[in-house]
Amino acid sequence: MPKRRVHTHMKYLSKLFIVLIVFVAFFVAYKVLNRAPDVPGQASSRLLWKIQSVDTMKFSRDLAREKLNDKAFEATIAQQVKQIADTGATHVAVGTPYEEEFVPFLAKWVDAARQNNIKVWFRGNLAGWEGWFSYPKISTNEHTAEVVSFISKHPELFSDGDIFTSCPECENGGPGDPRMTNDVASFRSFLISEHNSVVAAFKRSNKNVLVGLYSMNGDVAKLTMDPETTKALGGYVSVDHYVQTPEQLSADIEALVKSSGGKVVLGEWGAPIPDINGKMTDEQQADWISAALSNLSQVKGLVGLNYWTGYGSSTAIWTAQGEPRPAVSLLTGYYKPVVVSGSVVNEIDNMIEGAEVKTALSQARSDSRGRFTLTFTPADKTVTVRAAGYDTQVLDASQIGDHIVLVKSRENVLFRFAKFLKNLQK
């Protein structure tokens, strides 16, 4: 071979080698600068609702006089409150009356809540409002004065973050149900006046307690809670609502959000109520509650719920012996949802910024390092991942790993070469 041709050939090979070196160097630099973050998947919890509660009324109210001085009953209180706290509940709803006779019993429930780092939703009332425990019935003015006196005398019962409802299902006592009296104006006026008095009482006690959430029958709420009244009561509407189907429950709440213009809290809900739902096995109860929670988690404007009850009723999710029924794990899955952290990458492990990662309940976008966090509930079966320039993927939620790999819709020469070198590494 002539020297000139050999020289030319060697020169060509040298250039090719230099180009190859440049490509390899570029690939290495590209990988180093854009590699996916080495962050393992992490799990934490994120609240779906501001208020997540379980009610104890069958024990904290109905047994208030019977167990008032029963020292052994304190173990039952401790067990129930701990089990409720373990679900991820933010509050335990306590129905003990507010008269002085019952304050020592109420204090036991409050102490148990503090020991389990959970807030209290005071959902009792003055026994005289409805005539509980043979107390004589009282007027609206007496009710307000006695509630304010109770708050002033017992600031030790309250902690920041608690909820205080002075008159749950207020239509059941006092002047009566506005559907029957045809006096909606007086009913609204009483609630607003008492609300303002109770807010002032807590201000004097220097306690940051949410006041209100005057739970009502759903029909009473429709009649009473117009936008003006809702605003005057702190912007919240609370309903005790039992219906036949999970679909009806969420539809009714959506309608109430719209008509009231406020934030809605389910003061009571659950199944089965025999007259409404018939009898249910534990599995049927769990299926009903699962469907309800799945629907409710997607209702905008629903900011809280209180499952009625944990114990002692047809809707109970623990047995008389304190054993959890299947519904407990479902409720826990929503009260304490898992939040998974991971990253979105392409086939050469470069992070993808701005990828949408979405479940039926929540969605997130990957940051500049490809990272995302996403909430998972028992209802989430699949995860959809999409990004500009990449094929959309629908993945099984149970199989989401640390890295989600997306495939480019169209590959340029440089990307194909990078994939080639990556495969060589294997």
State how far the Cα of 260 lies from the Cα of 41, in Å rounded to an integer: 42
Q: Which residues contact 165 (CB under 8 A, 6 or more apart)?
A: 121, 122, 123, 212, 213, 214, 215, 238, 267
Per-residue confidence (pLDDT) for residue 412, from 0 to 100: 86
Per-residue confidence (pLDDT) for residue 11, from 0 to 100: 55
Per-residue confidence (pLDDT) for residue 426, from 0 to 100: 61
Neighbours of 12 (CB within 10 A): 10
Contact 213, 240 (CB under 8 A): no
Tokens of 175: 């002047």
Per-residue confidence (pLDDT) for residue 38, from 0 to 100: 42
Which residues of the chain, if any, have pLDDT below 70?
A: 1-45, 425-426
For 279, the 3-state DSSP assignment is coil
198-226: buried (b, 16+ CB within 10 Å) or exposed (e) per residue? beebbeeeebebbbbbbbbbbebbbbbbb
- The separation between the first and the last C-alpha atoms of the chain, rounded to the nearest angstrom, is 39
Helices (H), 64-165: 73-86, 103-115, 127-130, 140-153
* Encoded amino acid at 10, one letter: M
pTM score, two decimals? Answer: 0.83
State how far the Cα of 126 lies from the Cα of 118, in Å rounded to an integer: 24
Residue-wise pLDDT tens digits, 46-75: 789 999 999 999 999 999 999 999 999 999
State how far the Cα of 267 lies from the Cα of 251, in Å rounded to an integer: 16
